[in-house]
Amino acid sequence: MKIAVSRLVTCLCLVFLATACVQTPPGKSFPELRYSHLDPIGLAVNSVEVRTVYVSPGKAPNVEHEFPVKPAAAAERWVQDRIRARGGPDRLRATVTKGSVVEVPLKRTTGIRGAFTTDQSERYDGELELRLEIFAPNGTRRAMVSSRATRTRTVAEDVTLSEREDIWFRITEAMMNDLNRALEHQIAKHFTEWRR
């Protein structure tokens, strides 16, 4: 009886160890890119509509669908955090027209020299575009501003998945910082009639 119990305990331990080995560690968490710490931009409109018309292909060479913080989603959050409807007859529509990042394979060193060289293996080309339009009640567009941000970054062939995700996050963050600065400037210049 003792031998049977001992074998049962041994089998249960082996099963437990086997399942523990196949579990993948939890992925690294990244902060949400938020802009509520910045001063809100008040506009004399009765509503703010946010939409994304860019559709990610969800396959190579595009990789934005794998990003921990997707560029298009970050642009939507920017509108939600920064633009405030202060009342008025007009309405504002914010449209994310582009939010892509394309992975481009780079040429690597071959032969014996290649065995001792760490090359840059991929380049990531990011593009993010956001358009803000103010419409009159009859649907006529009264004003529009638009901004486009791009970023390019290469990675070494020995980069880890965690390091690659860090780079992807930084690409989105950098494009959003550019977009934020550009849109602040354009709104101040071209939406003066609606600033509140």
Give residue 29's pLDDT. 87
What fold does the segment set 35-194 form as a domain?
Answer: Double Stranded RNA Binding Domain (3.30.160)
Mean pLDDT rounded to a whole number for the chain:
89
Angle at 32 between CA 75 and CA 165, to 5 degrees: 95
Whole-model pTM above 0.75? Answer: yes
Give residue 184's pLDDT. 97
Cis peptide before 68 (omega within 30 of 0): no
Give residue 112's pLDDT. 79
DSSP the chain: -HHHHHHHHHHHHHHHHHHHHHPPPPPPP------TTSPPEEES-S-EEEEE------STTB-GGG-SS-HHHHHHHHHHHHEEE---S-EEEEEEEEEEEEEEE-----HHHHHT---EEEEEEEEEEEEEEEE-TTS-EEEEEEEEEEEEEEEETT--HHHHHHHHHHHHHHHHHHHHHHHHHHHHHH-GGGB-
Q: Domain boundaries in the chain?
A: 35-194
Give 4-27 pLDDT, tens digit per residue.
545 544 544 444 444 444 343 456
